[in-house]
Chain A
Amino acid sequence: MGEVFLKLLNMSITAGWLILAVLCVRFIFRRMPKWVNCVLWGMVALRLLIPFSIESPFSLQPSAEPIKAETIVQGQVVPYIPSIDSGMGVIEETLNPILAETFAYEESESVAPLQIFTEVAGYVWLIGVSVLFLFAMCSMVRLRLMVRESLQYEQDVYLCDAVQSPFILGIIRPGIYLPSGLNKEEADYILAHERAHLRRGDHLWKPVGYLILCIYWFNPLCVLAYIMLCKDIELACDEKVIRNMNTGDKKEYSRVLLACATQRRLVMTCPLAFGEVSVKERVKTVLNYKKPAFWITIIAIAVCVAVSIGFLTNPSREYEIRITIPAGSMERICYSDEEISPGSNRLTVTSGDGLGDTEVVLLPVEVYEENAYETTYMTPGMPVKLDVEKGAWFKIGVNMQNPTTEDIDVYVNVRNVEVRISDNDNRASHVDGDESGMQKQDLLRPEANPMLQDLAYYLELSAPDIEFRDMDEVAKEKILTEYGALLEGYSLIARESCDGKSAYIAGCYNGDVTQSPLYEMKSVYYTDDKGDYQILYLQENYAAMDRIRDEQGVMAITDEGYVIQNSELNWWTDKGTILIQPVDTERALWDTFAFYYNPGRGRVYIEDALSRGIGMNNIPEPYLSVYMISDKYGEITEKIPLSEERAAEIMEEDKIALPTGEGFAAALHIGGESVFYPEGKGVPQSIIELAVEKCGYQFAVPADIAAPIKEARLECSWLEETRYLEPEYMKRLEQILKGAKYTGVGNCGYGAKLTVTLEDGQELVVFKGTDDCGSLVFGSYGGYQLSDKADGEFWEMFGLAPGAEERFQLRTN
């Protein structure tokens, strides 16, 4: 209710300007035919009835919404405090602060004073409307009752005893009612007048006007307008009647006017004297009437058009031009992305949301004249007028810095401009000297990020028979919108295959990776004797990644390469899937493999990009890479080239569960695909054979010592020379080795290599842990354990200290 009332109040104020204009025009152009006045009042009615209007730069209305239910205090929009928008700074400056104080409220109040005020006002208004409406209804009923006692005089004309003055009743089928005591001549003139009313439609316009008045009763200008309307209707009607009369007839008509006026007693029960035109004025008008010349009609029409353009239209729309002040920006001036083109030589700007006192300046983007544009001081509530080149394009800049870590958006309001988004090229040069990380705008401008460019290039290299193009704007927007929160801070490139089956968005996090939405910063606490510690670490935000993957069928990778895909994922990559390598391609294979392959998490295996040759060695032929981890020998990687058939054989082979030991693994790479056989998974026999054949790996168990040991030598990186076992200990060694217990756990990392030669010529390699763990690795593969006693014995046999520290001493010496 309150809102309705406020809207009506605003409408009546804007109509008020029109009414004042019409009153002026009426006065200035009093020589004009009176029907023109009626047209002008018709425009007032339009303004009051239609809640909207078109905008035009020629509008003389000071404002489309003179009373707003909000105000701007120190740059912030505050609702429920009224403010006046009159187009005249003086009024606003004086009244708005008073209004703000009067209607001030606390945040905690549930209802603002303004709301109460407008609600109450709304109900008062409604009561007023009802009263007026009821009054009209009652009058109508009384009239209708009265004229039941009537006699028909002519078609649609009736005589009635009780009428004082002739009038028309009814809208659809109007009837003329005359007092019963008229003579013929009088009756004829009167009928001419009433019929003129009918032809003009006054029996309709007057009630319509009254209805409008019922709604806008609270505005004295509207009341005045209706009074004037009634007057003008009467005068216009008189004019219509006497248009073609000669003076004699006019005199007679005047006499009838007079006669009707004098015959009545004055009865004033109606408190408002509507449309009262004095008889004197009417007689004067009649007697002095001259048919207007043609050109007067033209002028009249021109005046009507001018008034309608000036007051029926609304002033041009106000645009809010946004300027984003980037986080940490200390630049003097920050410019808007949007560009404006003024519709005239003067541009009015006002501070909008977020701006206090500041300097504003225009930056020419497309101009034809050489003009200097200097900064101007702008205060909230005070519009500033700038001289501009009409039709040129400018960016708006404000002098504002942002020491916080978040971007700030501020707004400058302008009117009567065209607005457009600037091109990329313009943008870079206007954000002065930004190097500290990319801005949010970069989400849309990956051209600024060369790393991303490379990434995209390499990605597409890996799928040579798929053609890509930039992702459809709608699709990209959809993804960006849905995952906006997650993608914030990333520079992105969005590309899709031309057949629509695959797509990727490659991204790169711009800021501090601890702020990445894909990571959560976690902490653990621990205490030792030195003190309390909090350790911070990054944990992947699986929930966020899963959400992206599950909902959109996408895949998330590291902070360095963040990829979204919407194609079907496959363990064995086919042409439809694009995988991505980490941008840092220097990573070791092991690292890559260990990092990405995590079946427990359900994450899809990310192919080793190296093997696909993205950016690195391009090896399309199948090969087997075999490796073992040990301290002495480091990572052993052997690449064994294979034929396609051989590779296929391996793939199809039944897995053989062999005793596992850490340190041996293999990967089969075929045409860019990789199959891993790490410990824990059965390694195919043929791989074992290949490892033995090509790499000299040994796969042995203690039982393989089938013949007596002929020789045993020990090699160790910290031994200056190879140690040979004394023959008297050979038997004991055999016992010790055969007595070792199988653990499956392999090499502890500190190893010496023991090579045992048997009497039948067979050689056996055993890795021996050189610390206290007593572990052995038979061949390349089998993990065994010695008892502590046996372990000590072993070392003594070779002339080394039984305890690890002593051996360690030896080692470091």
Chain B
Amino acid sequence: MEIQLGVIEARYADMIWEHEPVTSSELVKMTAVEFNWKRTTAHNVLRRLIDKGLFCNENGLVRAVISREEFYAKQSRQYVEDAFAGSLPAFIAAFTQNSKLTPAEAAEIRRMIDRAEEK
């Protein structure tokens, strides 16, 4: 089974692995310091990690189910597809949005770039 972790989730997981077993309230304090996270955020991400089967929470004490080395041995780093189902609202200044590019179009653009010459 492939478990996918986002970069930030991975960072958090690393932090837990480093300190486990650790109470969830300790984790809250640590993420607050490191990431500037709110308590609920820490809990939410922890929940996801627990759901993905990496950790477990017994009466407020968090410990690993699978070790770090074991986990990374199984995973390959790749880009995460969105956990956020939805595109950005119109009034947000962004980089690019919602482009539909077929592979053919992508290739065409790549060629365009490559062929551009010094001006």
A210 at interface by CB-CB < 8 Å: yes
Q: Which residues of B contact A193 (CB under 8 A)?
A: 95
User: Assuming A210-B91, A251-B116, A262-B106, is B86 touching A267 (CB within 8 A)?
Assistant: yes
Stretch from B20-28, B37-45, B68-76 that touches the partner: B37-45
Q: How far is the CA of A149 from the CA of B9 in the complex (A)?
A: 8
Q: How far is the CA of A559 from the CA of B48 in the complex (A)?
A: 102
Q: How far is the CA of A202 from the CA of B116 in the complex (A)?
A: 29
Residue numbers of A with Cβ under 8 A of B are 136, 139-140, 142-143, 146, 148-152, 159-169, 179-181, 190, 193-194, 197, 202-203, 206-207, 209-210, 226, 230, 233, 237, 246-248, 250-251, 254-255, 257-258, 260-270, 272-276, 278-280, 282-284, 287, 290
Q: How far is the CA of A169 from the CA of B94 in the complex (A)?
A: 9
Known A-B contacts: A167-B95, A254-B113, A287-B112. Give 9 more (CB < 8 A).
Answer: A148-B40, A151-B35, A152-B35, A248-B118, A265-B81, A268-B87, A270-B87, A270-B90, A274-B90
Question: What 9 A-B pairs have minimum CB-CB distances, sorted nearest first?
Answer: A161-B6, A180-B7, A274-B90, A167-B94, A139-B89, A210-B91, A162-B84, A166-B95, A148-B41
User: Assuming A247-B118, A265-B81, is B8 touching A150 (CB within 8 A)?
Assistant: yes
A292 CB to nearest chain B CB (Å): 14
Which residue of chain A lies nearest to B37 when distances are taken between CB atoms in the complex? A148
Contact A266 B100 (CB under 8 A): yes
Q: How far is the CA of A667 from the CA of B98 in the complex (A)?
A: 111
Contact A194 B95 (CB under 8 A): yes
Contact A269 B88 (CB under 8 A): no
Q: Which residues of B contact A179 (CB under 8 A)?
A: 79
B85 at interface by CB-CB < 8 Å: yes
Which residue of chain B lies nearest to A139 when distances are taken between CB atoms in the complex? B89
Q: How far is the CA of A166 from the CA of B99 in the complex (A)?
A: 14
A261 contact from B37, B79, B99, Cβ within 8 A: B99
B109 at interface by CB-CB < 8 Å: yes
Contact A190 B95 (CB under 8 A): yes
Contact A290 B37 (CB under 8 A): no
User: Assuming A266-B98, A274-B90, is B36 touching A258 (CB within 8 A)?
Assistant: no
Contact B8 A149 (CB under 8 A): yes
User: Assuming A181-B79, A279-B99, is B113 touching A162 (CB within 8 A)?
Assistant: no
Contact B95 A260 (CB under 8 A): yes
Q: How far is the CA of A257 from the CA of B110 in the complex (A)?
A: 10
B51 at interface by CB-CB < 8 Å: no
Contact A164 B84 (CB under 8 A): yes
Contact B92 A167 (CB under 8 A): yes
Counting chain B CB atoms within 10 Å of each CB, which of A180, A246, A268 scores highest? A180
B89 CB to nearest chain A CB (Å): 4
Q: Which residues of B contact A181 (CB under 8 A)?
A: 7, 78-80
Which residue of chain A lies nearest to B113 when distances are taken between CB atoms in the complex? A254
B33 CB to nearest chain A CB (Å): 12
Q: Which residues of A contact B2 (CB under 8 A)?
A: none
Q: How far is the CA of A262 from the CA of B83 in the complex (A)?
A: 17
Q: Which residues of A contact B35 (CB under 8 A)?
A: 150-152
